[in-house]
Structure 1
Amino acid sequence: MNNFSFTSQSYKSFPAYPKSDFDLESAIPTTTIKRTRKPKNSPIFHLFKMLKKFHHFFKIHPFVAILLLSLSLGITLFVFLSYNATQLNNYAKTDLGFDDYPFSKLRNLVMVAGHSVYMSSGCGKIEKEDSWYLESYQKNPGQAATFVKHIEEGVGIVDKDEEGLLLFSGGETRKDAGPRSEAQSYWAVADFKGWFGKEESVKWRALTEEHARDSFENLLFSVCRFRELTGTYPQNITLHYEFILIC
């Protein structure tokens, strides 16, 4: 017979079930499991808390809250507009140096809108209606003289403004008149008239804008032309149409 010797050994005990009460049938612990709360440091939590405080403050001091809200919106709008104005000013000087523009020292725009094309090969009949290409509604006695007076007044306005730039505005608006623009017609008439005695002061700063087809484009394209010649947009604009003067 074999003899077996039994030696004492140490055993480790393991719990068969958790220490909490356990329902064997449902396999669900009977004790409530505590869930840890999320830390209150999320941006949404702080935003909600701030809005709640503001709502409480608004209920207590409504007028003060409205004043503070208006002030904050005003400051925000002021900063936004100031930033955009700075960006626009920087953009206006990106392509060329400010002093590289031919008329960089001029600040004001005087625009004379054209209303007809001069057709005569010479300038001896400037004030005669048959020297101009006239529409049916323009064929009135004295119409040509009105054009000349219109040009003279524009020259006079620029002569009194040392920082003014004169632009005759008007494109090739008459098909039967050929490749002749209203702006070039007005400039040629002013030159023939010796700039009405103001040639030295005005001629060097009198130019043309030759793409406009109507009154709106007279203004829009003249502002763009001014920017092209001076490097900046005009500080003051004087619009001289045939029937009205707008400053």
Structure 2
Amino acid sequence: THIHEGIEVVARDDSALLLFSGGETRRDAGPRSEAQSYWAVADSKGWFGKEESVKWRALTEEHARDSFENLLFSVCRFRELTGTYPQNITVVSYDFKENRFAHLHRSAISFPESRFFYAGTPATSNAKAAALKGEELVRTQFQVDPYGCRGSLYHKKLKRDPFHRSIPYPDGCPEIEGLFRYCGPTPYPGALPWAQ
């Protein structure tokens, strides 16, 4: 699972933080963030034997409503927690989402490719065909709308906020406020702290 893989990745690097990302995106789940759910599962599983080394470095980002926000908001949350931006980023998600994260989302925030890593976990075989078809559509949408701020991606994002949560970002990462406000079809033209 993503949770187990994330714990394994962080356990191998004493300087890493594990950020579970995801907001309160589903009404039927109640006002509980995806991130808190992941943290609770990890805790209930005893951190897969890595509690002493990982639990205190596992934190949450509880506002993301889509995959782009999972990445961008986690970068901001890292800045809130540490006072600096990440040197490296490792995203853990399904293997079929690698292109979306490693190319589309990474490029949208201009994070250096040499410092961006992806750990993919396989989807269950009975769900994989539908997931691949859905992924192709979402990837095409993000190619046209890299920041998910217009059209169908924007409307989907609004639907994934049933409890009408306020987004606190970019308050904790003022250096990248322009990136949060940007809504263009091409990469953000401003300077970013990690793109030097």
TM score, norm. by length of structure 2 = 0.49
* Larger Rg computed on CA atoms: 1
Task: Determine which structure has the larger helix proportion and give its number.
Answer: 2
TM score, norm. by length of structure 1 = 0.39
